[in-house]
Structure 1
Amino acid sequence: MRKEIQDRRAFVVSRGDTSFNTEDLDSLTLTMNAIKETLHFHPIVTYLPRVATKDDVIPLTYPIVSTTGETISEIPVRAGQVIFPSFTAYQRLKDVWDVWNPDRWLRPEIGKQTKVGVFANLMSFSAGVQACIGWKFSLIEMQALLTEILENFELSLPAEKPTIKRVPAAGFGMIPMVEGREDLGTAMPLQVSLVQQ
């Protein structure tokens, strides 16, 4: 990723500019793939409540067996009922996704995809008319920030390699905490050093 960013920086300087524009950021394939994969594997918002506007049913791709032994292949929903679609559950479905692998975006498996979300077949910014109005701005911010960080800094885990766990935050978000050191509050220990030129 760093080499990709450095090569694009050289191109930007050669054309007489000093900073990346949105086309430059979008051209950074490896960087964009890392963003997509991180949003897939670690969505910030884990679910968003929705209210059904009419009676309907939610079909289940994988039927479940109830405690009474009945096989259920759809869930009825009444008008006015609140449902809580889980972004985390969808974005970690083993049949669609597997482990953290940014290379998947170089060769998308079209047959395995379910068309959801406004970006990269992910629910990170929700979907449909209720999708995040600022999703593209948020994406540009992530691209710009990641590009600057990777171009200038080396990041690694500390020598003791703490276990980071995701903890529900107030509302429906997630925050990182060090396992066994919850007294630190939100924490993501990293070793940061300048990139050696």
Structure 2
Amino acid sequence: MSSEIIYHQTCVRIPAEHAGATEDLFVHAVQMGSSNCYEIGARGGCGRRSRRWQAIGFGTATDVLTWGIRTAGDTEGGMLKMGSASSWSTPEAYIRKVRSLLAAAATTDIRLGHSYKGERVTIRIEWREIVEANASKKVTDYAVSQSDSVKAFWSRYGAEEGAKRSAWNFFEVSGPELR
């Protein structure tokens, strides 16, 4: 049976004025992967465990902390580990980590990226909007950066999609390949 391993975590603050929100918004981004998936080495052998950056929480500080509390239960049964496959964590430790990330979140322009361990973590916000044209439905992709675009995204995310879908549905996160 596999578990998910969180290798690195960071939190980015988007000021309320950029999002048209009453509070600052946060994106909780992690580098994670499954314990039983490996990258293939150049000679066909197994390399390190595969991992990728993704967003696991988005919203106000309360929203991100609430999501963290829901996720923390996965550490109890060993389905979520922090650091390595052999590490063990408690729900309380995971919640403390989310709180500390929120407290230390740097305000950033997500177009330029967020500094993490001397590298850049960039976040691209995207969502799909169904548009009716000539009685057929077309899907249009939108890439969002800051200000008016983030306001439009937040109003849609908060109003329609936020309760139905997880943050990883909306964000494409890329960051350094850290060990």
Name the one with the larger helix percent.
1
TM-score w.r.t. structure 1 length? 0.23
Name the one with the larger strand percent.
2
Per chain length, whose mean CA-contact separation is higher, i.e. which structure has more relative contact order (CA < 8 Å, sep 6+)? Answer: 2
